[in-house]
Structure 1
Amino acid sequence: MFKYFFIRTYSNFNYLPIKNNSLFRKSSLKYFSNNKIKIFQNVIKSNYSTNLSKNNIIINDKYKVYSGPYSGTAKKLKIFSIISLISTIAISPIIMIVDAPIGLGARIVFIAMAISTSALSTGLIHLCFSPYVRNIYYNPLISSNQLSTSEISSPKITAESFLTFETLTLFGRSNFTTLPLKSLEPSFRFFTTWNVKKLYENELSAMSKKGKQLSPKKLFYVHNELCDNKVMQEVINKVGIN
């Protein structure tokens, strides 16, 4: 009975009217399969165009010119501070209902102190480690609009060259900020090396590892003693370092 019902239903819906009032028969399975393939191809084409034409960001170890020694520690510390803050906020209501000889005012003060202390430590960690650069990538595709082996092995760093700085967001996720070398200048704020000139603040672009648009970072900290390769030496010679 079910098989008969399915055949009748499928047969009825295969006849679709068109503008000239004629009927045509088309396989539903083939129709939707072709559409899914076209949609999938369009999505791939769109993502490829977006990643290469608009952002041109190359995130590959082949183009890495700097790596921070404490990048793993910085990420773990930021994640731990966020988890501690969330845990403190989550257990705060328990203090209000726990059976103890403490007045309501004292409970409120205790909760406020616990949350403010955790929030303060999280804020300080973010303030110090937000500019910390985990990795720096050279982007020859943006700088010269062509990619060649000789250009990567001996890149010519100019004021128009582009670099991508990998830093961390508040929640410990990677932030890839791409900017031209001419936009950098020495910074004199604590725990920073470079900052972005105000003239170029609106020309920056930043994205997450999955391609989501983020707010670009404007302060960066690097270990100058680790800038010993040719690219980073040329960057320091052109930008300077604090």
Structure 2
Amino acid sequence: MAHHIGNGCYGVLTINADGSYSYQASGKAGSAGNADVFTYTITDGNGLQSTTTLTINIGQEVETAQANPDTQAYYVGNVEDNLDIQGGNVVQVAGLSLLNTVNVALPTNGFKFVVAEGTEQDVTLGVSGSTALSIALGAVTLDLILINTDTNQIVGVIKDGITATPTGFLGLSLEYAGGGEFERIGAGNYMVVISSPTTEGLIGSILNLNLGTSISMEVTDSTKYVTGNVLHTDSDGRCWRYR
């Protein structure tokens, strides 16, 4: 069970019943060099209590956590240290759905990014642009699909995150717009594609379409998490737990 401690000046701290904690930095400008300090109560097996503080230092580099029975400190590095945006072309693949294995060949030049080992990341994506197609159909909604290319598994879907609207003479062009956020992405290599669970109609006609440079996909925001554990054993062998 997670216990929300509260909002700090520069992020939000959550502590779980097992002592693990997660701190999500807000990414505010000018936060580097400052600190969030949270105070909470821990209880041992005999019911004895102790007030403890956890200090999150916002810095340029991730440092080793330092802890003693009364205080803990952790450093939060810049988002760029966690997320390597490799970019690439926007591609469209039909017939994909959540938690399926991708059974089609993915293009090597698709939109990719890497989340660093030992980290988690929120990633917000924006899609825009238009492409010419020799078909005239109404507007359709498409999904944003997140694929872990290490395992070839679909690990996230933003349902109806993209709208493709006919524009231009006779509606022969499609205007793409939309986006969304994938939360708490674990370490690994990823590709994001546009898709629909059906291979019929419009999507079937542009199956595996490489939209190239006419459609752009970009990371518009990203937030990384810091994790740790507030449990510790003192010199008498007592295990203190968050309460």
TM-score, scaled to structure 2: 0.22
Q: Name the larger-Rg structure.
A: 1
Greater helix content: 1
The higher relative CO (CA closer than 8 Å, separation ≥ 6) is in 2
Question: Whose strand proportion is higher, 1 or 2?
Answer: 2
